[in-house]
Amino acid sequence: MPRTSKSEEGPVQCEICQAVIQRRQDFPRHMRIHSEKRDEITFKCPWPGCSYESLQRSNVDTHHRIHTQEKPKTCPDCDFATSDPGSLTRHRKRFHGYQPKAKQA
């Protein structure tokens, strides 16, 4: 529930779109755009099957990265993590004396 003030005048900020409505009595009308055009102003995650949505595009972009980002490879011997398998191998060789299985010649 939004907190209401006794004041009839003065700007009020919309929690949804951050718009400042100069006159409080215009606020209910402003809120109607959110119920009517909710689909138009809501950004949805484009990932198939994902139902994430946000009114702020940056939130969706941040969220979307969890789908696109490669899972980091983590070193089994320490906290080292990288998205590049090659650098993980180099790390393991260098710090842990890891010997990759040599291909039989």
Residue with tokens 């009517």: 36
Verify binding: residue 55, Zn ion, rule CB under 5 A: no
**Which window, 5-13, 36-44, 70-78, 81-89, contacts Zn ion (CB under 5 A)?**
70-78
Verify binding: residue 78, Zn ion, rule CB under 5 A: yes
Backbone angles phi, psi at 50, to 5 degrees: -95, 135
- 41, 50, 61, 90: which one binds Zn ion (CB under 5 A): 50
- 9, 26, 77, 84: which one binds Zn ion (CB under 5 A): 77
Q: Decide: helix, strand or coil at residue 40.
A: helix
- 42, 55, 75, 82: which one binds Zn ion (CB under 5 A): 75
Residues of 48-83 as b/e, b for ≥16 C-beta within 10 angstroms?
eeeeeeeeeeeebeebbeeeeeeeebebeeeebebe
Binding footprint of Zn ion on the chain (CB under 5 A): 14, 16-17, 19, 45, 47, 50, 52, 75, 77-78, 80
